[in-house]
Amino acid sequence: MDEIDLHLGRKLRRRRKLLGLTQQELAGACGVRFQQIQKYECAANRMSAARLWQLSEVLDAPVSYFYEGLSAEQRRAHEEADEALDLFAREETHELVRAYYALGERPRRRLLELAKAMNGEAKA
């Protein structure tokens, strides 16, 4: 479980309770089942940017409310993780992985060493 997801879930629960809403009421306002709100609050499920925006409107709080209290380092780590996920979502990455694993073991090792050398990570 990601520390930021836990933080967002706690902020969601705190705001919902402050407004006196049940999970069922909040879920109804967002068009989801109450179990989904439960999962957001305990960080079992991540909130998408669109869902966070929707929740901020329903709870009458700016999106920034959910991030208040996070350190700059935590925010930076989360942004870096998102960038890495974007990289793995590219079709080019999938093609490269498929081509890599279509090779035999020896050519795969040689290709990996070549890539490391080109990136300045050659064996000492």
pLDDT on residue 2: 82
What is the residue-level pLDDT of the chain in tens, covering all 124 positions?
Answer: 688 888 999 999 999 998 999 999 999 999 999 999 999 999 999 999 999 999 999 999 999 999 888 877 766 776 776 677 677 777 888 888 889 889 999 999 999 899 889 988 755 4
pLDDT on residue 93: 83
In whole angstroms, give the CA distance from residue 3 to residue 21: 25
In whole angstroms, give the CA distance from residue 71 to residue 119: 32
pLDDT on residue 78: 65
Single pTM value for the model = 0.59
pLDDT on residue 47: 94
Contact, 59 vs 16, CB < 8 A?
A: yes
pLDDT on residue 85: 66
DSSP H stretches of helix in 1-124? 3-18, 23-30, 34-41, 49-58, 63-67, 72-89, 91-102, 105-118
Start-to-end CA distance of the chain, whole Å, equals 37
